[in-house]
Amino acid sequence: MQREHSRRLFEEAQRLLPGGVDSPVRAFRAVGGEPFFVARGEGAYLTDVDGNRYLDYVGSWGPLILGHAHPAVVAALREAVGRGTSYGAPTELEVTLAAAVQEAFPSVEMLRFVSSGTEAVMSAIRVARGFTERQKVVKFEGCYHGHGDGLLVRAGSGAATFGVPDSAGVPAAVARETIALPFNDLEAVRRALEAVGREVACVIVEPVVGNMGVVLPRPGFLSGLRELTARHGVLLIFDEVITGFRLAFGGAQEAFGVPADLTCLGKIIGGGLPVGAFGGRREIMEQVAPLGPVYQAGTLSGNPLAMTAGVETLRLLKTTGFYKSLEERAAALEEGLRAAAAGGAVRVQRAASMLTVFFTDREVRSWNDAERADRQRYARFFRSLLEQGVYFPPAQFEAAFVSAAHTAADIAETIRAARAAFAAAAA
Enumerate the active-site residues.
144, 239, 267
Closest separation in Å from C-beta 144 to ligand HOZ: 6
**Is there binding between residue 398 and ligand HOZ (CB under 6 A)?**
yes
Do residues 413 and 45 lie in contact, with contact meaning Cβ atoms separated by under 8 Å? no
**Chosen residue from 36, 61, 221, 256 binding ligand HOZ by CB under 6 A:** 61
Question: 10 Å Cβ neighbour count for 195?
Answer: 11
Does residue 290 have a cis bond before it (omega within 30 degrees)?
Answer: yes
Site track 7-26 with ligand HOZ (rule: CB under 6 A), x = hit:
----------------x-xx
Minimum Å distance from CB 274 to ligand HOZ? 11
The residues, ordered by sequence, that sit 6+ positions from 272 with a Cβ below 8 Å of its Cβ are 60, 63, 64, 68, 73, 309, 313
Please give the Cα distance from 272 to 76 (Å, whole number): 13
* Cα distances (angstroms) measured from residue 366 to each of 142, 208, 283, 350, 362: 7, 11, 34, 15, 11
Nearest approach in angstroms of CB 23 to ligand HOZ is: 3
Q: What angle do CA 241, 244, 248 make, to 5 degrees?
A: 155
When CB distances to ligand HOZ are compared, the closest residue is 23
What gap in Å lies between CA 386 and CA 420, rounded to an integer? Answer: 11
The least CB distance from residue 242 to ligand HOZ, in Å, is 7
Instruction: Report the residue number, 145 or 347, with the smaller CB distance to ligand HOZ.
Output: 145
Compute the least distance from the CB of residue 157 to ligand HOZ, in Å: 4
Residue choice 6, 132, 211, 253 for contact with ligand HOZ (CB under 6 A): 211
Contact residue for ligand HOZ among 35, 158, 217, 302 (CB under 6 A): 158
For residue 8, the surrounding DSSP H or E stretch is helix 4-16
Please report whether residue 313 would count as binding ligand HOZ according to CB under 6 A.
no
- Tell me the closest approach of the beta carbon of residue 168 to ligand HOZ, in angstroms: 18
Q: How many amino acids of this chain bind ligand HOZ (CB under 6 A)?
A: 8
Nearer to ligand HOZ, 68 or 136 (CB): 68
Q: Does 190 bind ligand HOZ (CB under 6 A)?
A: no
Taking alpha carbons only, the member of 387, 377, 355 closest to residue 423 is 377
Q: Which residues of 137-174 are buried (b: 16+ CB within 10 A; e: fewer)?
A: bbbbbbbbbbbbbbbbbbbbbbbbbbeebeeeebeeee
In this structure, which amino acid lies at residue 211?
N
Q: Which is nearer to ligand HOZ, 76 or 212 (CB)?
A: 212
Q: Is 157 in the site for ligand HOZ (CB under 6 A)?
A: yes
Residue with Cβ nearer ligand HOZ (166 or 335): 166
DSSP 3-state of 125? helix
Where along the sequence are the contacts to ligand HOZ (CB under 6 A)?
23, 25-26, 61, 157-158, 211, 398
